[in-house]
Amino acid sequence: DAKTTQPNSMESNEEEPVHLPCNHSTISGTDYIHWYRQLPSQGPEYVIHGLTSNVNNRMASLAIAEDRKSSTLILHRATLRDAAVYYCILRSGGSNYKLTFGKGTLLTVNP
Amino acid sequence: GAVVSQHPSRVICKSGTSVKIECRSLDFQATTMFWYRQFPKQSLMLMATSNEGSKATYEQGVEKDKFLINHASLTLSTLTVTSAHPEDSSFYICSARVPEETQYFGPGTRLLVL
């Protein structure tokens, strides 16, 4: 699986936007970009995924660079409940649906 | 999103005993489920891929005779940790694949082997 690089940690203030970056310079043309988050002692929660175009859902937005070598997860207004480890994962577009988790970014939200 | 449940949420057992963890997809059928393990302060590590009606595919380094996986129906996969030892103590998480979408994860099972 292609590798992703994320900052170890980031900090934000409540009700402010948060931009979580992810570099994936070795991404292939069929790799999907997935984002999950994990709160302490819980299973990961699906956030969003995309292939080439930017994506929006009720939780977040995903901005994908034109060359697809990087992407940014955008939380429009951070809340205390958004404090979690965020994982950026590349998934092959073939029949293998395995996800390989890296270390992710620990997001701290200050009140 | 799709809902995946796990049972039990936590279990304590004695060394040498076996423990079974259930993973269910509640509102969809899952032909493929995955089992992960997570040690404290570490990321999730994929243990095996479970396909309904066939043998599981284990990742390198995972003992298939120790971690028995059964995926007998489209909504249920089980992981049995046989002859558990203290080093098997971990957070075990399952996920289920929704076709054409992504994986949805269960809440995890905390296993403590004394």
Q: What is the pLDDT of residues B7-38, one digit of tens each?
A: 999 999 999 999 999 999 998 888 899 999 99
Verify whether the Cβ–Cβ distance A46 to B44 is below 8 Å: no
Which pLDDT score is estimated for A13? 96
Are residues A74 and A62 in contact, defined by beta-carbon separation less than 8 angstroms?
Answer: yes
Concatenated DSSP letters of B3-59: -EEEE-SEEEE-TT--EEEEEEESSS--SEEEEEEE-TTS--EEEEEEETTS--EEP
Which pLDDT score is estimated for B38? 97
Query: Greatest CA separation found in chain A?
Result: 43
Question: Which residues on chain B are in Cβ contact (under 8 Å) with A98?
Answer: 34, 46, 49
- Residue B1 in this model has a pLDDT that exceeds 70: no
The helix/strand/coil state of B86 is helix
Give the span between the Cα atoms of A62 and B21, in whole angstroms.
34
Q: In this complex, is the C-beta atom of B1 within 8 Å of any C-beta atom belonging to chain A? A: yes
The helix/strand/coil state of A82 is helix
- Residue A81 in this model has a pLDDT that exceeds 80: yes
- The DSSP symbol for B87 reads G
**Banded pLDDT at A95 (limits 50, 70, 90):** low
To the nearest whole Å, the CA of A103 is away from the closest chain B CA by: 6
